[in-house]
Each structure stands twice: as C-alpha cells, then as structure tokens.
Amino acid sequence: MTIISKTKIKRELTKVLRQQGYDVGKTTFTLNDSDRETKRSVHSLAKVERIDKRKDFIKRKTSFIEKFLLDGSALDVQKISPKLIEVEADSEWETLFRWWNLVWWSLPYERAYGRQIRYVVWDQYHKAPIGLIGLQSPILSWSVRDDYLGITKEGRDYWVNQSLSAQRLGALPPYNYVLGGKLVAYLMTADTVRKKFENKYSGVKTLMQKRKLPSDLLFVTTTGAYGKSSVYTRLKYEEEYVAKFIGYSHGSGSFHIPNALFDKLIKLLEQEGFDVRRGYGAGPSRKLRLITQSLRLLGFENGSSHGVQRAVYLFPFVKNLTEVIQAEAQPKWYHRSIKGLTQYWKERWAVPRIGKDQTYKTFIGEKFIEDALANLNQPEKICRGK
C-alpha cells in the first residue's frame, strides 16, 4: 500500500485552494474577496474537473441537444406551454438533463443522494426544454432551516424526510432571457410534483430510523448561489409568497475540494485508522465530515467551511407549515396547477419583460453550441446559470 505523505498532500491542497482565490494560513484559509465574481470563480476548478471527465459524453450528445435548441427569434412568449416530464434512468430525457446540467450551470454538479425526483420542464408548443428541476434528499442537520421552522433534533428525521432540496432549479436559453427561471420555480410547487412524491415514496422506510413516514412533501429548500437570488425575490402567486428567504448558510460544503484530491484525503484517513465507510451516510453530510477530519489531520481548522455563504429559500407546500411542524396540525395544502402558474407568470413577469427588453431575440442556438464545444477545455467560460 502506497504511503500518503501529509506534507505532500498538504502542499497539493494549498496549491488548489490558492488557485481558487483563497489566502492560506497555517491553520485556516479564507477568500481573498467576497464579491459575486470571486464567489463564481471559486467554483471554476470543480466545474473544470467535472466537465473534463464527461467531455466525450458532451461531444457525443451535442447533435441530439441541437435538435431541441430554440433560437430566441423563434420564441413566442404567449405560446409557451410547459409540461413537467419526469426524467427516468437511461432515457433521452436523462441525456438532455445531464448535458445541460453539466454545460449550463456555473455551480458544479454534485451527485444526488437519497430520494430523487428530476424533471425536464418541456415547452409543448416550441418543442424545446424550458429548464430543469432536480430534487433530492436534503442535508439532515441544517440550522438555518431547523431554527426557522422549529425543527428539533428529536424530530429532525421525521420532518426532513418530508421535504426535498432543489439542487438544480433554473431556466435554459433562450427562456432565461424572459425570466423563465421564475416559471421553473413556480412549476416546482405545482400539485404534480407533490403528488409524484406521495406516489413514489408511499410506504418507503427511512434509511436511518427504518420507519415509514407520511409520504407528504411539505416543503422544498434551495439556495442562491452567490447571495440573494433575483429569481426567488418577490416570487408571489395569488398574493402569497411562493419562496421565502429564511437566512444564510454557514458557508460549508465540498466544492473547494476536487474529487481527485478528496480521494487522496480518504486514503490518508484510512491510513491513519479513521472509519471511511461510505455506505449509508455517504451523502453530503458524510462527505463534509470526512473533509473536516482529513483537513484537521493536515492542521486546518475549517476543513469544510469554504466561506461562500448562500441565501437559503424555503418553498412551503402547505399554508400552515409552522403549525404542522410545531403543533402537529393537519396540513392545509396549496393547490396549484401548471396552467394557472404559467398564466400568472406570463402576465406578471414574462410579458412585461419582453415589452421593455427583447434581448432574448439575439440568442442563436448554433452559436451557443459552437462556443460550448470550443470552450470544453475551459468550461468556466460557458457558465451562465445559477
């Protein structure tokens, strides 16, 4: 077995952190600046790594993606007709989801853990993808969410397993030009999503407590990548807020540790006698603990604390969410149809936008594809999403 040198791996870690814009001291590392562009650049290394591993897939499937890429000049906002198409494994919808998930977003894709529901938001009129919705099991312990809702340690497993986290939530071009991100956020709260959760997870036991819980999707959480999100701000439907800002995360995560380096850190922990099993609990929380442990071995106090605080948003699916959690009240569900949400979005957001800004007409799908392929060796150049 090859011996992992602490000195060598610490040197590599320091180099990686400095490449991302961190000042590295003896026991801590901090971002040089906290502005939006600095935060965006911090993610570039992880983005490059994920793109590099999937270059062949991106190139091979580009011709398929081109078939459904709409020029902005062909977009008729009034005719947009969305449908939520669930992404099944090994389907063409999964190909479409994976390609855009890799190429479009500036935040690098992280593997989904636990429960998962994915949708392509499909425009039936234009025969093009409007956006993506990627939902997964949330982090079990999250103070910003738990404090806001009054979730106790004892009840955490019960309530968190009746929620999901939106890892991907946003619009694709040219729909992003006409505030399509807000449409995708609206549609995530449609009855279609809630009923899918109910049907898919009815009778399923939780992994930790091995018990059956109500298959109710009570709420979804997500974050703004670089602070507060213009997509979720003022997002109302029928005079009620669809998304609620509930605070900021503590700035913990794993994106600042590339996967290749993480594998070496795991070997270091194993060498030092730590438990590195990655069965149940190998999701985000487990990975953060392993990063913290390994960096502590190297002398750093803030292993998983990358310093990029994110605005946290909560999408309640019931009108009395706090009472349900704190007083065991019966849920009073919102009832939202895709048709109703879409019409509201057109009147409130899309039509006013195109009345004063027609930049969307300048988007050319062929040019976008050319740029995407040309920049595969520097994929941060094509990051334009959330």
Q: Is residue 292 part of a domain?
A: no
Structure tokens at 239: 């005079």
Low-confidence winner among 45-59, 110-124, 316-330 (lowest mean pLDDT): 45-59
- CA gyration radius, the chain: 21
pLDDT band of 208, cuts 50, 70, 90? low
Which DSSP string corresponds to 147-208?
HHHT--TTTHHHHHTTEEEEEEEEE-TTGGGGTHHHHHHHHHTSHHHHHHHHHHHTTPBPTT
Distance in angstroms (rounded) separating the CA atoms of residues 208 and 142: 17
pLDDT of 315-363, one tens digit each? 999 999 999 999 999 999 999 999 999 999 999 999 999 999 999 999 9
Domain count, the chain: 1
Distance in angstroms (rounded) separating the CA atoms of residues 339 and 344: 9
Q: Is residue 43 part of a domain?
A: yes
Q: What is the pLDDT of residue 127?
A: 98
Q: Is residue 39 part of a domain?
A: yes
Low-confidence winner among 58-62, 195-199, 250-254, 296-300 (lowest mean pLDDT): 250-254
Distance in angstroms (rounded) separating the CA atoms of residues 109 and 77: 29
Q: Is residue 156 part of a domain?
A: yes
Q: Is residue 347 part of a domain?
A: yes
Structural domain range at position 199: 33-53+138-162+178-251+307-372
Q: Is residue 349 part of a domain?
A: yes
pLDDT band of 254, cuts 50, 70, 90? confident
Q: Is residue 361 part of a domain?
A: yes
Q: Is residue 244 part of a domain?
A: yes
pTM of the model: 0.85
Task: Assess whether pLDDT exceeds 60 at residue 76.
Answer: yes
